[in-house]
Amino acid sequence: MKINIYYGGRGLMDDPTLFVINKIKEVLEELRVTVEYFQLYELKNSITTLPQSLKTADGVILATTVEWYGIGGYMQQFLDSCWLYGDKERISEIYMSPIVMSTTYGERGGMLDLVTAWEILGGLPCDGICGYITDTSILEENEEYIRIIEKKAENLYRTINQKMACLPASNQAVKQKVAITKNINFTPQESEQLSQYVADDTYVQRQKADIQELASMFRDMMGSSEKEDTTEFLKEIQEHFKPQPGLAGDFKIVIEEKKTPLFIGISGGDLRCFYGEGSHADVEVQMPREVMSGIVAGKSTFQASFMAGDMKMKGDFKALRILDQALIFGARLTGL
């Protein structure tokens, strides 16, 4: 016989649920039961893969602590993963005993939530333990409480060993009529692989990067028939350039609607302005076309647009002032 324990608390030393789990684990091991223990707070990055561990279990213990309200995020995430990726046929053969200890109000509601969730998954609920314990020493020093815990562990062993029947629950009927997930036609093996991929951050990030690359490629293909305007803003920049000794800097302006960046190079009285990749850029900015149009029209400045959050930049913020000092657009020109 094999029983898996899933602990959804935070692992605090004074958590009464930990005492109950350890006592039950001792009793089960004395009965020659194989016990596998999963601390969800240590496995938070791979919770989506844990439904795989149910494949070899005859019974499970879902244990959590109510610290302020409800069963907690780790346990809820595990149950969500069971619903999305678990083998429902296998779960329908597994007995579940809930353990919910509370340091505040709500232990009975928490136990009911676990039982309801397991029934909706199709599993077999059996007797559990719930209690309000403000101090773990209350459990440790009370022989009667310890005897209750040990008795519950023995009853769980008998229930699983004898494969006792459970009466039908309305939760399962509701699931069949109302709570129906989208049919994605995955086999349990495919769902298992999917849950592994979901938990693999490297795989997820790589997929996101591939999607962005494909989106960019298709966008370029769709827009290839339209010739890009590589003269926009150049005339205005050249006309409003005000040479000043000591001002120097290279700037790369990425306009989101254009494939080619705008490069502006300033060196005292010299100005280079073209669409293309410069050899080096002291500052790189990214903005929508309408923001650049507003700057050229004199409605804003590069610094003001950055401070307003209308554009992004990389590089030295102080160097950004050079653009506003050397390029005087619109109404700002009247003061010269």
For 198-220, the pLDDT digits (tens) are 555 666 677 777 787 777 676 66
- CATH of the structural domain 2-198, one choice from 3.30.9.10, 3.40.50.360, 3.40.50.720, 1.20.1440.230: 3.40.50.360
Around Cβ 282, how many Cβ atoms within 10 Å? 17
Residue bearing the bigger pLDDT, 319 or 111 = 111
Q: Which residues contact 258 (CB under 8 A, 6 or more apart)?
A: 228, 275, 289
Taking only the tens place, the pLDDT of each residue in 269-316 is: 889 999 987 667 889 999 999 999 999 998 999 988 888 888 988 887
192 has a pLDDT exceeding 70: no
Q: Where are the domains of the chain?
A: 2-198, 234-335
Q: What DSSP letter does each residue of 266-278 carry, written as one string? A: EETTEEEEEES--
Q: Which residue has the higher pLDDT, 207 or 115?
A: 115
Mean pLDDT, rounded, for 181-196 = 57
Domain 234-335: homologous superfamily in CATH: SCP2 sterol-binding domain (3.30.1050.10)
Reported in sequence order, the residue ranges of the chain that DSSP labels E, i.e. its strands, are: 2-7, 34-39, 59-66, 95-102, 124-125, 129-132, 248-255, 262-267, 270-275, 283-287, 312-315
pTM summary value: 0.56
Give backbone dihedrals phi and psi of 199, rounded to 5 degrees, phi first: -80, -10
Contact 287, 253 (CB under 8 A): yes
pLDDT (0 to 100) of residue 215: 73
d(CA 72, CA 106): 12
Establish how many alpha carbons lie within 13 A of residue 133's alpha carbon, considering only the half-sphere containing its beta carbon: 23
| Mean pLDDT for the stretch of residues 183-189 | 55
pLDDT tens track for 118-162: 999 999 999 999 999 988 998 899 999 999 999 999 999 999 999
